[in-house]
């Protein structure tokens, strides 16, 4: 099954499935990171809209996702947030129609573990960000510690089958390879989960 179809299928149970880790960790990381997004913002892989409550109300937000099922869940969140301008679009970050340098900020959370060609997606994200613009990533990735990676490789077998999600991508390196200049990295769960702030 294609990754897109897997997420369409999983949309109705996705938030329930992720509820424990969301409460323990990711809600806190969103609260730290997302408020740094300002101006015209692109959220890549907006999913069910978990980041929506954390944006400053004055942002102009465009949220894209390649899963129609996930977008339908995000749409239902819009009545409960304070952002004045939000547009949700079915689109794939690997190939978008936006003009180069169109966005002041880019946000992704747990996205580049799933994009089929993460380097292509990050290259496109770099193209869309204006010079000097900020990119905010909340991502999990392969550890720099071999003993941690033993568990990640074990988890990867199941996650790749059910959701097309990789536990062992080197996302920070991919971000740098796309041309982003990393300003700050915060580590969680050893160094598996990271908040990465970068600029173009």
Per-residue pLDDT, 139: 98
CATH of the domain at 22: 3.40.50.150
Q: Is the pLDDT of residue 75 over 80?
A: yes
Give the count of domains, the chain.
1
Reported pTM: 0.95
Residues contacting residue 151 through CB under 8 Å, at least 6 positions apart = none
Q: How confident is the model at residue 162 (pLDDT cuts 50, 70, 90)?
A: confident
Q: Is the pLDDT of residue 25 over 80?
A: yes
Full residue range of the structural domain in which residue 78 is found: 3-199
pLDDT of residue 15: 78
Query: How far apart, in whole angstroms, are the C-alpha atoms of residue 176 and residue 173?
Result: 5
Residue whose C-alpha is closest to residue 32's, from 200, 198, 186: 186
The confidence score (pLDDT) of residue 46 equals 98
- Residue 1: its pLDDT value, please? 52
pLDDT in tens, 133-144: 999 999 999 999
Mean pLDDT of 71-83: 92
Q: What angle do CA 153, 158, 163 make, to 5 degrees?
A: 115
Question: What percent of the chain lies above the pLDDT cut of 90?
Answer: 85
The answer to whether residue 16 scores a pLDDT higher than 70 is yes
How high is the pLDDT of residue 198? 98
How far apart CA 29 and CA 11 sit, in angstroms, is 22
How far the first Cα of the chain sits from its last, in Å, is 35
């Amino acid at each position: 099954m294609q990754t897109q179809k897997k997420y369409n299928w999983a949309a109705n149970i996705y938030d329930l499935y992720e509820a424990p880790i969301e409460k323990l960790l990711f809600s806190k990381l969103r609260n730290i990171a997302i408020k740094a997004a300002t101006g015209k913002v692109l959220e890549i892989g907006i999913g069910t809209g978990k980041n929506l409550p954390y944006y400053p109300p004055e942002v102009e937000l465009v949220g894209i996702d390649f899963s129609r099922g996930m977008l339908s869940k995000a749409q239902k969140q819009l009545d409960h947030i304070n952002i004045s301008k939000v547009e949700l679009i079915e689109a794939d970050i690997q190939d978008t129609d936006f003009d180069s340098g169109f966005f002041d900020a880019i946000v992704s959370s747990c996205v580049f573990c799933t994009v089929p060609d993460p380097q292509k997606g990050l290259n496109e994200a770099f193209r869309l960000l204006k010079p000097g613009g900020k990119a905010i990533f909340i991502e999990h990735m392969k550890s720099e510690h071999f003993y941690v990676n033993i568990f990640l490789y074990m988890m990867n077998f199941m996650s790749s089958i059910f959701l097309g999600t990789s536990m062992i991508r080197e996302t920070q390196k991919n971000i740098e390879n796309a041309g982003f200049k990393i300003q700050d990295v915060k580590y969680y769960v050893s160094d598996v989960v990271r908040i990465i702030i970068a600029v173009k």
